[in-house]
Amino acid sequence: MKNDSFYEALGMQAQAAENAVPEMPEHKFSRKYKHKKKLLIKAYESSQTQNESVAGTFRKLSFRRKIQIAVLIAALALFLTGGSVYVAYSIGGFEGYRQSTNTEMSFVNYEGACETLYPKYYLTCDMSGYDRKVLTDSEDVYSEIYTRGDAFVKFTSTKSELYMNEHPDFNYEELSDSLESPVETDKHLHRTLPDGSELIIWSDWYTTFELEFSGISYDEGYDIYRSAYSKTYRVTYDMSDWKEEVMTDSSIFRWVVYKKGDDEFSFEIFTKESYQKVHLNTEGTELESRVVNGHEGIYINNPDKGFQYLAYDNGDYIFAFIFTFDYDKAMEIIDSIKLL
> For the domain 2-24+84-115+232-339, what is the CATH superfamily, name and number?
MucB/RseB, C-terminal domain (3.30.200.100)
* CATH topology identical between 2-24+84-115+232-339 and 122-229: no
Q: What is the DSSP letter of 176?
A: G
Strands (DSSP E) found in 138-197: 141-148, 151-159, 189-192
User: Where along the chain do its domains lie?
Assistant: 2-24+84-115+232-339, 31-79, 122-229
At 5 the pLDDT is: 66
Sign of CA dihedral 340, 243, 254, 230: positive
- pLDDT above 70 as % of the chain: 72
pLDDT in tens, 157-193: 999 899 999 999 988 877 765 444 444 456 789 999 9
pLDDT in tens, 308-333: 999 999 999 999 999 999 999 999 99
Strands (DSSP E) found in 150-221: 151-159, 189-192, 198-203, 207-214
- Cβ-in-10-Å burial (0-12, 13-18, 19+) of 133 comes to exposed
Q: Which CATH architecture has domain 122-229?
A: 3-Layer(aba) Sandwich (3.40)
The more confident residue out of 85 and 210 is: 210
